[in-house]
């Protein structure tokens, strides 16, 4: 079972753009502005900034450090990396299964949502989308595409399924070409294009000024004010602090196992500290500057201060897929700006979804000695089947449940385990020394204290509070309509089956390696 030499990133910019591409996703443009507007506006930025300093950046450094360290032992996924960090505990590799399971669960629905952005880009260019003139028609357009209703826009699920298949094949194709030839090359092109599109859209929205003479107060700058005017009384609410911590956590792709995998392809003396900080700051540029300057100011200009509150309450997806095309329909060159918006979301989605595939593909390559071609083929067949419930049972609560487990539960749990593993079991002295091998900058010493004490405590508080407040009701399916319960239960049994399968695969892989080592002796 001779493994081929491990792949490495080609350039430092390449790995930074790949990690930033993984972090910059739909949430930067849809989730962040809604969270900020609903939680104190400018005052939200105070807990957001604190969470970035005490959770986001330290966790980013911890994941890069752990990943590169595990990569040095020939592992690119969490089971092997966790085992390398805690060699004396043979059970820790099974805990690491969370670092493959989490991305896999997100992949099961994310690719389908990503395919809607590709479909909307296409229909923006053909003019079909801009023909939908009002919110009612745009809602019908979205539900028709999703197959939730048959209407004049779409008579069947066929277009949605075709766009899903195209998006899926693009993802698999990029993954097939590997770290350097696929992911790095695509991110080197896609991320700059995404940022340029974002800047163009932000400029267009901010130069709308006040287009309606009847409402001179409905201006783009007052729209910015809706997001940035601070309401400091909101800081008394624990909910606002948790929302800010959650936003920072989700936006940086922490705890999923994705950064662990990407950084495992670094060489032993490649820089971590500066590269990790650069990837985080690129993500913040996309979130705080671009994400905050498009959707909320645009909606404010057309719907005013009262309308935007109702729109924000309808959720981030409604804002992105119903409100935004409605706004573009009122602008000169609306088709073009609609295309820019949805294609920007598509690029943000694809640079994230290819990162979700890599932990599983890397696991098959490294722990089973498979060629990339074989690993990607198995991954492709396996995930194509796993994606089907999200495609066909969208209205039955399947995606919400997958999002809860993959996008909330496992990543917060995974990050908490990871920080304790690195800071307390692997040891802060070793972790600090490892972080600075080949480093281009010296991390301020205060972060030793933050990583060892503050970040784990913060994460334990978030984990405990969310578990009691939000997760217990969700786990016990409170509010799930009775007709959806079989689908939700089926989803959970499926996740459990995948978890058991992955644990069995870890066991087989380690036994095979042990036998191979004994034979050599």
Partner 1 sequence: MDVGGWIMLGFMWGGVITLLIYCFAKILTTDKSTEL
Under the rule (CB under 8 A), what is the footprint of partner 1? 8-13, 15-16, 41-43, 45, 49, 221-222, 224-225, 228-230, 266-267, 270-271, 274-275, 277-278, 281-282, 284-285, 288-289, 440-441
d(CA 226, CA 211): 17
User: Per DSSP, what are the bridge partners of residue 230?
Assistant: 41
**Is residue 402 a contact partner of residue 491, using CB atoms and an 8 Å limit?**
yes
Alpha-helical segments (H) within 88-218: 92-95, 98-126, 135-145, 158-176, 178, 185-206
Task: Write a three-state SS string for 262-318.
Answer: HHHCCCCCCCCHHHHHHHHHHHHHHHHHHHHHHHHHHHHHHHHHHHHHHHHHCCHHH
Alpha-helical segments (H) within 177-288: 178, 185-206, 220-228, 238-251, 258-264, 273-284
* Residue closest to 9 by CA, chosen among 373, 189, 267: 267
Q: Which own/partner pairs from 161-167 qualify as long-range (CB within 8 Å, at least 24 positions apart)?
A: 161/391, 163/115, 163/116, 163/118, 163/119, 163/122, 164/111, 164/112, 164/115, 164/387, 164/391, 166/115, 166/118, 167/111, 167/112, 167/114, 167/115, 167/118, 167/350
Rounded to a whole number of angstroms, the minimum distance from the CB of residue 199 to partner 1 is 12
Rounded to a whole number of angstroms, the minimum distance from the CB of residue 13 to partner 1 is 5
Which residues touch 373 (CB under 8 Å, ≥6 apart)?
Answer: 176
> What is the CA angle 113-115-120, rounded to 5?
100
- By beta-carbon proximity to partner 1, the closer residue of 49 and 477 is 49
Q: Residue 204 to residues 168, 193, 210, 353, 413: CA-CA distances in angstroms?
A: 32, 16, 13, 28, 41
- By beta-carbon proximity to partner 1, the closer residue of 150 and 440 is 440
Rounded to a whole number of angstroms, the minimum distance from the CB of residue 10 to partner 1 is 7
- By beta-carbon proximity to partner 1, the closer residue of 42 and 369 is 42
Rounded to a whole number of angstroms, the minimum distance from the CB of residue 258 to partner 1 is 19
- By beta-carbon proximity to partner 1, the closer residue of 45 and 319 is 45
* Residue closest to 368 by CA, chosen among 164, 516, 499, 486: 516
- By beta-carbon proximity to partner 1, the closer residue of 124 and 219 is 219
- By beta-carbon proximity to partner 1, the closer residue of 49 and 503 is 49
Rounded to a whole number of angstroms, the minimum distance from the CB of residue 219 to partner 1 is 9
Structure tokens at 225: 């004010």
Rounded to a whole number of angstroms, the minimum distance from the CB of residue 70 to partner 1 is 18
d(CA 363, CA 96): 11
- By beta-carbon proximity to partner 1, the closer residue of 11 and 126 is 11
Phi-psi region of 448 (alpha: psi -120 to 50; beta: other; left: phi over 0): alpha
- By beta-carbon proximity to partner 1, the closer residue of 160 and 195 is 195
- By beta-carbon proximity to partner 1, the closer residue of 74 and 225 is 225
- By beta-carbon proximity to partner 1, the closer residue of 149 and 188 is 188
Q: Using alpha carbons only, how large is the chain's radius of gyration in Å?
A: 23
- By beta-carbon proximity to partner 1, the closer residue of 184 and 434 is 184
Rounded to a whole number of angstroms, the minimum distance from the CB of residue 301 to partner 1 is 13
Rounded to a whole number of angstroms, the minimum distance from the CB of residue 441 to partner 1 is 6
Rounded to a whole number of angstroms, the minimum distance from the CB of residue 250 to partner 1 is 18
Structure tokens at 199: 């800047």
d(CA 310, CA 298): 15
Rounded to a whole number of angstroms, the minimum distance from the CB of residue 109 to partner 1 is 30
Rounded to a whole number of angstroms, the minimum distance from the CB of residue 246 to partner 1 is 18
DSSP assignment string, 35-66: HHHHTTBGGGHHHHHHHIIIIIHHHHHHHHHH
Rounded to a whole number of angstroms, the minimum distance from the CB of residue 164 to partner 1 is 35
Q: Tell me the backbone φ, ψ of residue 94, rounded to 5 degrees.
A: -75, -30
How far from each other are the two terminal CA atoms of the chain, in whole angstroms?
15
- By beta-carbon proximity to partner 1, the closer residue of 11 and 151 is 11
């Amino acid at each position: 079972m001779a493994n081929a030499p491990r792949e490495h990133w080609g350039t430092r910019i390449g790995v930074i753009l790949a990690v930033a591409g993984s972090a910059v996703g739909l949430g930067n443009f849809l989730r962040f502005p809604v969270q900020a507007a609903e939680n104190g506006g400018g005052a939200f930025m105070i807990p957001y900034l604190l969470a970035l300093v005490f959770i986001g950046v330290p966790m980013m450094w911890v994941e890069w450090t752990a990943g590169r360290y595990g990569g040095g032992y020939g592992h690119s996924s969490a089971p092997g990396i966790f085992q390398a960090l805690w060699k004396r505990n043979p059970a820790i590799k099974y805990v690491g299964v969370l670092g493959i399971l989490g991305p896999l669960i997100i992949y099961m629905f994310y690719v389908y949502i990503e395919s809607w952005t590709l479909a909307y880009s296409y229909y923006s260019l053909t003019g079909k989308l801009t023909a939908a003139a009002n919110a009612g028609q745009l809602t019908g357009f979205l539900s028709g595409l999703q197959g939730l209703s048959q209407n004049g826009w779409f008579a069947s699920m066929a277009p949605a399924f075709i766009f899903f298949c195209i998006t899926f094949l693009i993802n698999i194709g990029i993954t097939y070409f590997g770290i350097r030839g696929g992911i790095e090359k695509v991110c080197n092109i896609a991320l700059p294009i995404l940022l340029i599109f974002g800047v163009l859209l932000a400029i267009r929205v901010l130069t709308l000024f006040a287009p309606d003479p009847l409402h001179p107060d409905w201006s783009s700058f007052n729209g910015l004010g809706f997001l940035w005017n601070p309401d400091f009384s909101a800081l008394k609410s624990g909910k606002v602090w948790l929302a800010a911590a959650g936003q920072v956590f989700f936006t940086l792709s922490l705890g999923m196992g994705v950064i662990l995998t990407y950084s495992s392809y670094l060489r032993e003396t490649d820089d971590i500290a500066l590269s990790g900080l650069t990837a985080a700051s690129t993500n913040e540029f996309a979130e705080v500057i671009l994400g905050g300057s498009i959707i909320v100011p645009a909606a404010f200009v057309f719907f005013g201060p009262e309308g935007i509150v109702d729109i924000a309450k309808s959720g981030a997806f409604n804002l992105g897929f119903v409100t935004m095309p409605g706004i573009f329909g009122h602008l000169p060159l609306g088709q073009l700006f609609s295309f820019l918006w949805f294609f920007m979301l598509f690029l943000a989605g694809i640079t994230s979804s290819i990162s979700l595939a890599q932990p599983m593909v890397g696991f098959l390559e490294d722990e089973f000695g498979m060629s990339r071609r074989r690993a990607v083929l198995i991954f492709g067949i396996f995930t194509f089947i796993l994606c089907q419930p999200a495609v066909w049972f969208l209205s039955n609560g399947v995606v919400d449940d997958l999002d809860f487990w993959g996008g909330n539960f496992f990543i917060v749990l995974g990050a908490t385990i990871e920080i304790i593993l690195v800071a307390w079991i692997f040891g802060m002295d070793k972790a600090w020394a490892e972080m600075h091998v080949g480093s281009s900058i010296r991390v301020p010493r205060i972060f030793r204290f933050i990583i060892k004490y503050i970040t784990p405590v913060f994460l334990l508080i978030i984990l405990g509070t969310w578990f009691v407040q939000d997760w217990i009701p969700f786990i016990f399916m409170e509010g799930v309509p009775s007709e959806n319960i079989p689908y939700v239960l089926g989803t959970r049994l499926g996740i459990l089956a995948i978890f058991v399968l992955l644990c069995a695969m870890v066991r087989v892989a380690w036994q095979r390696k042990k036998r191979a080592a004994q034979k050599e002796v």
